[in-house]
Amino acid sequence: MSNAPILLTPGPLTTSLRTRQAMLVDWGSWDRDFNQLTASLCEQLLAIIDGAASHHCVPLQGSGTFAVEAAIGTLVPRDGKVLVLINGAYGQRLAKICKVLGRAYSTFETAEDQPTTAADVDRLLAADPAVTHVALIHCETSTGILNPLPEIAQVIKRHGKRLIIDAMSSFGALPIDARQVPFEALIAASGKCLEGVPGMGFVFAEKTALAAAEGNAHSLAMDLQDQHAYMAKTGQWRFTPPTHVVAALHEALLQYNEEGGLPARHQRYADNCKTLLDGMAKLGLRSFLPAEIQAPIIVTFHAPKDPRYQFKDFYERVKAKGFILYPGKLTQVETFRVGCIGVVGAAGMQAAVNAVADVLREMEVLDI
């Protein structure tokens, strides 16, 4: 097990043995001990955004996308309209969710290396008064680009509109303070920067908005208002919780706080990202994004031009040396991605760079 490769992916990622060992216990989902675990989890999560006064934390079974769909389905009224800001695959997915759910929406798309700006949002909201909600990806995992959340949030508030943030890949590593950044919902998941295992998401939902959302949802299982009301009343999840995943996330959060919370997590990932970027640059591998819009979460690299480079072969060889990389997700340019998150430090990232260097040599890839 200690020989398992390090996952340099946007999640699932490498967790600590202590976190995985928390899954060696079976919990009764109706039992008081488990209810306390859930309550402690939500409390710790709310503390990360200083949101206890303004927001409820509503955990949800399933992957992060389930929680995103649940947030849109629960909080956007059936006669609402969503402005979806897009610069990658996860923004596209937000639009697809609106479409499938039958919520009116419009999209604003920038290039995959172009953050949406507050000025864009200001202009778009002025032009379309029908919009009730704006949906934004904080860090777009398809490239690693960071969108200027605080500035966009202020513009949305000024227009009297509501913001739904998909913070899947940034939450826990990049600061977001609910007392300063106004939002109706922020969504993240267990298996990302908190370094838990995948299997649940959670939504921070504004208390007043959640209370007013009864009957909005398109789904029973994804009704966050109902999920929260039941949990508030009973301390239990409405439907069977992924008990082991919950226990692992709880244990991961204890370690998160022991490490020093968000500033420490952010610093470690920033160091990882710098080690990666510097090391890859020395090999001639160019990062797709300029440094100023690069979040320290996942980095997209241009694939080498050399015809001897094939991603599949490259991937398998790097894996054999102990590191799992991630394919690119851009349609126009051939790329691959390397995550900076999970239980790994700068020494691990340097070892990954060395493995990449060795593999490129083995493959005789010269034209980078």
Residues that bind a copy of itself (CB under 8 A): 1, 4-5, 7, 9, 11-15, 17, 20-21, 23-31, 61-66, 69, 73, 93, 96-97, 100-101, 189, 191, 197-199, 217-223, 239-245, 248, 319, 324, 326-327
Question: Of 181 and 237, which CB lies nearer to a copy of itself in the complex structure?
Answer: 237
Nearest-approach distance from CB 144 to a copy of itself, in angstroms: 16
Q: Which residues pair with 139 in a beta bridge?
A: 146
Question: Of 54 and 65, which CB lies nearer to a copy of itself in the complex structure?
Answer: 65
SS3 for 148? coil
How many Cβ atoms sit within 10 Å of the Cβ of residue 122?
17
CB 224 within 8 A of CB 218: no
Nearest-approach distance from CB 241 to a copy of itself, in angstroms: 7
Nearest-approach distance from CB 305 to a copy of itself, in angstroms: 24
Question: Of 73 and 144, which CB lies nearer to a copy of itself in the complex structure?
Answer: 73
Question: Of 31 and 278, which CB lies nearer to a copy of itself in the complex structure?
Answer: 31
Angle at 303 between CA 300 and CA 305, to 5 degrees: 155
Nearest-approach distance from CB 227 to a copy of itself, in angstroms: 11
Q: Position 88: which residue type?
A: G
* Phi, psi (rounded to 5 degrees) for 47: -65, -30
Write the CA distances from 57 to 61, 117, 173, 185, 261, integer angstroms: 13, 28, 18, 10, 18
Between CA 186 and CA 163 the distance in angstroms is: 8
Question: Of 202 and 326, which CB lies nearer to a copy of itself in the complex structure?
Answer: 326
Nearest-approach distance from CB 84 to a copy of itself, in angstroms: 13
